[in-house]
Amino acid sequence: MLSNRGECMYGYIVVGSVTYALKGKNHLAKQGIYAQVAKTPKEYNKRGCSYSVMVYREDLQIAQKLLADIHIGIQDIVV
């Protein structure tokens, strides 16, 4: 689980649904990027219940590009 190293080392890529979050996580894993699906924390959640792909901060930029490449809409990035 990602929280072993502390959540401050991670960023959240907020997506529209748990389905997109799972699809994104699996795609990132195929590209060698470690990711987890997480409910977006309440303090960052602007649209009610939402899900995020949680990645190491240093992987945020490439993860964002890879998710856009497979047409996963990104609602927000939280670091």
**pLDDT over threshold 50, residue 5:** no
Over range 47-67, report the average pLDDT: 93
Over range 43-71, report the average pLDDT: 91
Over range 42-62, report the average pLDDT: 87
Give the list of residues 6+ apart from residue 45 with CB closer than 8 angstroms, or none: 14
What's the pLDDT score for residue 21? 97
* Length of the chain as a residue count: 79
Of the pLDDT bands very low, low, confident and very high (cuts 50, 70, 90), residue 48 is confident
